[in-house]
């Protein structure tokens, strides 16, 4: 299976499932180490840019920080 095919499958997961998968992948990378740390840094930079672009494209879909904080404190 190609990386693109794996990514396409992963993107079909719910946001919670994608977050768990990402966490597991990162933990695996941390455990094994990487030959070139700049690869990981670039991947994080790319992810941040993608998230910023999504937030900028649909600013009304975000959650206000104070509302989120209050919700988390209530749990």
Question: Which residue from 7, 2, 17 is spatially nearest to 50, judged by alpha carbons?
Answer: 7
Residues 75 and 39 in one domain: yes
Distances in Å between the Cα of 49 and the Cα atoms of 11, 28, 32, 52 are: 17, 23, 26, 5
SS3 per residue for 10-25: HCCCCHHHHHHHHHHH
Q: Record the pTM.
A: 0.46
pLDDT at 73: 92
Instruction: From first to last of the 75 residues of the chain, give the pLDDT tens digit.
Output: 899 999 999 999 998 899 999 988 888 877 677 677 788 788 889 999 998 998 899 888 888 889 989 999 998
Residues 28 and 39 in one domain: no
Tokens of residue 28, six digits: 């695996």
Residues 40 and 28 in one domain: no
Domains in the chain: how many in total? 2
Quick: pLDDT tens for 29-48.
Answer: 776 776 777 887 888 899 99
Range of the domain at 51: 35-75
């Amino acid at each position: 299976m190609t990386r693109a095919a794996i990514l396409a499958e992963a993107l079909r997961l719910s946001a919670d499932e994608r977050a768990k998968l990402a966490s597991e992948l990162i933990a695996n990378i941390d455990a094994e180490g990487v030959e070139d740390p700049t690869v990981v840094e670039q991947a994080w930079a790319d992810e941040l840019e993608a998230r910023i672009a999504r937030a900028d494209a649909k600013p009304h879909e975000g959650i206000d920080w104070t509302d989120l904080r209050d919700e988390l404190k209530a749990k």
